[in-house]
Amino acid sequence: MTFTTATLTVSVDGFVAGPDQTLENPLGRGGEELHRWMFNDPAHEVDARWQDKILRPGVAYVMGRNMFGPVRGPWDSWAEEWRGWWGEDPPYHAPVFVLTHHEHEPIEMAGGTTFHFVTTGFADALRLAREAADGDVDIAGGASAVRQAIAAGELDELTLAYSPIALGSGERLFDGTITPTLEIVEGEQSALATHVRYRIVR
């Protein structure tokens, strides 16, 4: 049996990333503040519990190319050397399948993370991830990849961390192209985020 999940942080005005993603601002302008609940030190005990649910063992990941890095279009010489935002030991410690229109050789990292680049679409990336993890997959982001999972009827659960800031612009998860029915499973609140886990009703 397969099980597919996704977790995203959302601003109070509905954005999951700020505008103008660059090398200096990988989450877009204001994006780091959006994710403060994840980076606060020490972490609130509520936030720490929800962080632990994101990167769990036995899971493979699917992510969009924008989530992997700031490179757009063909892989040029600089882009070929790009190895992700996370340094030599990314937090995934599992196979990660990156959606892209441009072929790229797999990138093996420390800690068990290998980035595989899939040019044949979301369905193939999800199939490969399920094979690699024996079923369980997390859609690591960004918003477009999660929308594709919902639209394909392949997402079982969606967890949203609502951050108490407004970004004004950026990328929305619910951009008018999908209208999923969400059933609340559980929720919990800290000073920095309200965490809600939804079941996708099909």
| Region of residue 66 (left: phi > 0; alpha: psi -120 to 50; beta: else) | alpha
Q: What pLDDT, on the 0 to 100 scale, is given for residue 44?
A: 93
> Can you give the pTM of this predicted structure?
0.93
For every one of its 202 residues, what pLDDT tens digit does the chain have, with 9 covering 90 and above? 799 999 999 999 999 998 887 778 877 888 888 989 998 888 899 999 999 888 888 899 999 998 998 888 888 877 788 899 899 999 999 999 999 999 999 999 999 999 999 999 999 999 999 999 988 999 999 999 999 999 999 999 999 999 999 999 999 999 999 999 999 999 999 999 999 999 999 8
Name residue 75's beta-bridge partners: none
Side-chain-facing half-sphere of 114: CA atoms under 13 Å: 12
Q: Is 33 exposed, middle or buried (0-12, 13-18, 19+ CB in 10 A)?
A: middle
Residue 195: per-residue pLDDT: 97
Q: CATH number of the domain at 191, please.
A: 3.40.430.10
pLDDT for the residue 67: 92
- Residue 24, pLDDT score: 81
Which pLDDT value is given to residue 30? 83
**Domain of residue 167, residue span:** 3-201
Which pLDDT value is given to residue 175? 93
User: Would you state the pLDDT for residue 128?
Assistant: 97
Decide if 156 contacts 146 (C-beta within 8 A): no
Domain count, the chain: 1
